[in-house]
């Protein structure tokens, strides 16, 4: 779609919370807005719709969104599920008259480049900035389309790209072939998926917040279906594998971490907790998977029917390959932001972000929302809003 409008054209990748936050600010500036969304509005949050946010509602939306939705919102201290957030915030935002016709669901962005210029075309040259961006998308049927833009905001999140489950971030032997047999996102394990899991031999890998949720769900399954057998493998040697923040101000986060740690410290009969454990190899067997685990210095083979690997997510940088944007070799997030976040260990820590930290090295292209943090898991929507304020103040 090539347009000739003189208004600045802003393409926003992703109709998640940060995509909408960006869109409202861009509309306010009089930009022509297009939101390209791979799935449905709030697709990534819908994947964990049954799980509660750990931050209270008041922390999750900005004055800008409040104003756009004109009341009719949950109370600030409400702890919503992902599904409730989509229903009460994202869907109403998608129905705003000012966004009518501007959201394109089912358009997955495949590649972004400057018109006629790849990565090495006139880098740092003023002429590069004059060239618009071209954004290539693909719909569910594989049909391709080009959108042109003066500004691109990548708010595509990280949830679509899970980390490997093997040691040191590498795929375990066999994982590339058998990857589709591994569940890598939080599902409603003890709710709508109870029947699928009850009575099975299950391996859970991970010790982050999502793994904590899964451990609690698996414990519930064992209570309801005592023939279920679970191995919970964690890399850490901590007795309490999930990090707890003393007197956690985010009480929902504290509650989940504490409940999962209690399970780890005193698991039910059918749950083994393996610390200092990594996944080494997978082999397909009849209706099951043979798994080789390294437990400290020893190896053990087990046969399981389901593997839940909740080992985090990373940004898709492939689609940005032809841009001159710089991403940290460590976090894979915006390079300047990575430096600003070094040594920050909790998402609530006050960070001083210099607007320059948010520059990507490709004028007019911004990585926003959780993707800008890359593999750093300390992102909060509240921080994303502050980032956008800084970016827009410089536009
Ligand atoms: C279980 C769980 C609980 C969480 N709780 C909290 C919490 O309490 N507080 C908090 O602040 N954060 C929480 N988070 C983190 C939370 O997910 C993010 O804060 C929030 O979703 C980030 O918003 P975003 O818009 O940056 O990305 P996302 O919500 O991930 O949205 C990205 C959007 O981009 C789309 N997309 C992806 N790739 C493409 C592409 N190539 N082309 C087009 N569209 C694309 C996706 O479909 C999606 O709709 C939680 C995460 C999980 C998993």
Residues 6+ apart with CB under 8 A from 99: 23, 27, 33, 35, 93
Whether 186 is in the pocket of ligand 1, judged by its Cβ within 6 Å, is: yes
Whether 379 is in the pocket of ligand 1, judged by its Cβ within 6 Å, is: yes
Give dist(CA 268, CA 222) in Å, integer. Answer: 8
Domain limits, the chain: 9-160+313-393, 167-309
Whether 162 is in the pocket of ligand 1, judged by its Cβ within 6 Å, is: no
E strand or H helix at 359: none
Task: Dump pLDDT digits (tens) for 115-172.
Answer: 999 989 888 888 999 999 999 999 999 999 999 999 999 999 999 999 999 999 999 9
- The three-state DSSP-derived secondary structure of 183-252 is ECCCCCCCCCCHHHHCCCEEEEECCCHHHHHHHHHHHHHHHHCCCCEEEEECCCCCCCCCCCCCCCCCHH
Query: Which residue among 319, 367, 381 is best mutated to probe the pocket of ligand 1, counting the most ligand atoms within 8 A of its Cβ?
Result: 381
Averaged pLDDT for residues 280-296: 95
Percent of the chain past pLDDT 70, that is, above it, reads: 97
Q: Which of 11, 23, 109 is nearest to 392 (CA)?
A: 23
User: In this structure, are strands 144-149 and 133-138 parallel, antiparallel, or unpaired?
Assistant: antiparallel
Distance 110 CA to ligand 1 centre (A): 18
Give dist(CA 108, CA 5) in Å, integer. Answer: 24
Q: Which of 337, 325, 274, 263 is nearest to 302 (CA)?
A: 274
Domains 9-160+313-393 and 167-309 share a fold: yes
Predicted pLDDT of residue 139:
97
What is the topology classification, in CATH, of domain 167-309?
FAD/NAD(P)-binding domain (3.50.50)
Whether 39 is in the pocket of ligand 1, judged by its Cβ within 6 Å, is: yes
Q: What CATH number does the domain located at 9-160+313-393 have? A: 3.50.50.60
> Which atom of ligand 1 is nearest the CA belonging to 15?
49
Distance 383 CA to ligand 1 centre (A): 13
Whether 159 is in the pocket of ligand 1, judged by its Cβ within 6 Å, is: yes
Distance 14 CA to ligand 1 centre (A): 9
β-sheet bridge partners, residue 134: 113, 148
β-sheet bridge partners, residue 282: 291
Predicted pLDDT of residue 1:
47
Task: Dump pLDDT digits (tens) for 18-67.
Answer: 999 999 999 999 999 999 999 999 999 999 999 999 999 999 999 999 99
- Where does residue 97 fall: left (phi above 0), alpha (psi -120 to 50 degrees), or beta otherwise? alpha
Whether 21 is in the pocket of ligand 1, judged by its Cβ within 6 Å, is: no
In order of 6, 271, 308, the CA distances from 181 in angstroms are 50, 21, 9
Distance 19 CA to ligand 1 centre (A): 10
Residues 6+ apart with CB under 8 A from 189: 197, 214, 217, 218, 221, 308
Mean pLDDT of the chain: 94
Distance 370 CA to ligand 1 centre (A): 7
Whether 51 is in the pocket of ligand 1, judged by its Cβ within 6 Å, is: yes
Residues 6+ apart with CB under 8 A from 359: 336
Q: Six-digit token pair at 366?
A: 């911004």
Predicted pLDDT of residue 187:
94
Whether 43 is in the pocket of ligand 1, judged by its Cβ within 6 Å, is: yes
Predicted model pTM: 0.95
Predicted pLDDT of residue 71:
77
């Amino acid at each position: 779609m090539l347009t000739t409008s003189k208004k600045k054209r802003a393409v926003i990748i992703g109709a998640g919370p940060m995509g909408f936050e960006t869109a409202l600010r861009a509309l306010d500036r009089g930009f022509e807005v297009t939101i390209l969304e791979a799935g449905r509005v709030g697709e990534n949050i819908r994947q964990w719709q049954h799980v509660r946010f750990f931050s209270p509602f008041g922390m999750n939306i900005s004055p800008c969104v409040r104003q756009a939705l004109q009341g009719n919102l949950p109370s600030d201290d409400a702890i919503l599920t992902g599904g409730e957030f989509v229903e009460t915030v994202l869907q109403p935002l998608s129905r705003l008259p000012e966004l009518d016709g501007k959201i394109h669901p089912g358009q997955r962005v495949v590649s972004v480049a400057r018109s006629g210029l790849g990565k090495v075309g006139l880098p740092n040259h003023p002429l590069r900035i004059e060239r618009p961006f071209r954004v290539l998308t693909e719909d569910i049927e594989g049909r391709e389309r080009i959108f042109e833009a003066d500004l691109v905001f990548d708010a595509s999140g990280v949830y679509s790209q899970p980390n490997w489950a093997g040691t040191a971030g590498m795929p375990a032997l066999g994982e590339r072939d058998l990857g589709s047999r591994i569940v890598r996102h939080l599902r409603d394990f003890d709710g709508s998926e109870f029947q699928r899991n009850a009575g099975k031999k299950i391996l859970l890998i991970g010790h982050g917040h999502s793994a904590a949720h899964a451990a609690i769900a698996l414990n519930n399954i064992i209570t309801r279906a005592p023939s279920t057998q679970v191995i919970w493998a964690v890399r850490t040697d901590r007795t309490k594998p999930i990090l707890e923040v003393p007197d956690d101000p985010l009480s929902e986060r504290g509650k989940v971490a504490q409940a999962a740690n209690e399970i780890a410290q005193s698991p039910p009969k059918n749950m083994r907790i393996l610390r200092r454990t990594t996944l080494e190899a997978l082999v397909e067997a009849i209706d099951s998977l043979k798994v080789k685990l390294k437990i400290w210095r020893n190896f053990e083979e087990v046969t399981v029917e389901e593997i839940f690997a909740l080992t985090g997510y990373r940004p898709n940088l492939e689609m940005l390959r032809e841009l001159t944007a710089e991403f940290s070799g460590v976090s894979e997030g915006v390079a300047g932001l990575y430096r600003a976040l070094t040594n920050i260990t909790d998402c609530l820590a006050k960070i001083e972000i210099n607007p320059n930290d948010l520059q990507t090295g490709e004028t007019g292209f911004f990585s926003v929302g959780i993707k800008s943090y890359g593999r750093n898991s300390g992102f909060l929507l509240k921080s994303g809003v502050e980032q956008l304020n800084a970016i827009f103040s410089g536009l």
